[in-house]
Amino acid sequence: MSEALQSLLDLLDLERIEEDIYRGHSRSAVVPRVFGGQVAAQAMVAAGRTVPEDRHAHSLHAYFLRPGDPGAPIVYDVDRLRDGRSFTTRRVVAVQHGKPIFTLSASFQTYEEGLDHQAPMPPAPDPATLPTGEDRLRSYPHLPAETVERFLEARAAVDLRYVDDPPFGDFGTPRDPHSQVWFRTNGKLADDPLLHVVLATYVSDMTLLDSVLLAHGRGGWAVGDVVGASLDHAMWFHRPFRADEWLLYDQQSPSASGGRGLGQARIHTRDGRLAVSVVQEGVVRVPRER
């Protein structure tokens, strides 16, 4: 296991303050606020620790309310909304400086047999044939060295490989609002299913709005030509998967308007199983010239 992955796992290992109340801390990010994927992942850890082990996460719905302060701890307060025969529902509120910054509702279910079908996996090149994230980032001479290093530090726990140029790599000309990324953690994980859900939740917020930027030829926050932030985030976990094995994150944007952009995505395992569906809306604003 890489040192960066162990550091991330330590970050997600929340401190229990008392019954259903947990405390987490933050790490550096590309922007001067808490990374949204970190808050969502920590909230899922808090929720999952109050749920029986035989019930696995099947969905989450979250709202980002305020920017998180990376210099202050985050308190996660879990509300046990329902414990049914098949489903368990939890609500988590993340609090900083006495105010909620994030809310999450998550549902867990016991295993059941039932109808089974899925959308086919889209075509994509083998991840082994693609440049690593570091190689790709360092190949863009227009990116400041400081920006590159911040990106690499923020993503060091994950092997993340773009199929095509990301928005900040080749921008200026609008492209099809579709982006593909292969990802896996930089090291093996324990077999706990919740851990793999939590890591996928963490990674899911890294690139989902890329397709919005592609449609308008914008490079994004890495080059300063847009201001962005997550507003809400939803995930459905369809089938078991491992976050330490290659997963294809196929993302597209059907709409952008009113200073907001919508991203939709599916995550497939390398052998073609549809594992996760993701939807996120975010603020995507073009800074006004002074």
Task: Tell me the three state secondary structure of residue 133.
Answer: helix
109 is a catalytic site residue: no
Angstrom distances, CA of residue 284 to CA of 143, 154, 170, 216, 231:
20, 21, 18, 11, 10
- DSSP letters, 32-81, are SS--HHHHHHHHHHHHHTTS-TTEEEEEEEEEE-S---TTS-EEEEEEEE
Give the closest residue to 235 by CA, choosing from 264, 192, 273: 264
Q: How far apart are the first and last CA of the chain?
A: 48
Angstrom distances, CA of residue 100 to CA of 15, 22, 56, 94, 151:
19, 14, 26, 6, 27
pLDDT in tens, 108-142: 999 999 999 999 999 999 999 999 989 998 988 88
Q: Which of 159, 205, 225, 250 is catalytic?
A: 205
Provide the CA 213 distance to its chain's centre, in angstroms.
17
Provide the CA 50 distance to its chain's centre, in angstroms.
22
As given in the structure block, the two tokens for residue 232 are 């809400």
205 is a catalytic site residue: yes
Give me the numbers of helices (H) and strands (E) for the chain, helices first please.
6, 12
Answer yes or no: CATH 3.40.50.1950 is held by domain 3-111+131-285.
Answer: no
* Cβ(22)–Cβ(45) below 8 Å: yes
pTM above 0.85, yes or no: yes
pLDDT recorded at residue 290: 46
Torsion of the alpha carbons at 270, 276, 281 and 287, rounded to the nearest 10: -20
Q: Give the strand pairing for 21-24 and 178-185.
A: unpaired
13 is a catalytic site residue: no
Q: Which of 26, 179, 230, 252 is catalytic?
A: 230
The pLDDT tens digits along the chain (290 residues) read: 789 999 999 999 999 999 999 999 997 656 678 999 999 999 999 999 999 999 999 999 999 999 999 999 999 999 999 999 999 999 999 999 999 999 999 999 999 999 999 999 999 999 999 999 899 989 888 888 888 888 888 889 999 999 999 988 888 889 999 999 999 999 999 999 999 999 999 999 999 999 999 999 888 776 768 888 899 999 999 999 999 999 999 999 999 999 999 999 999 999 999 999 999 999 999 877 54
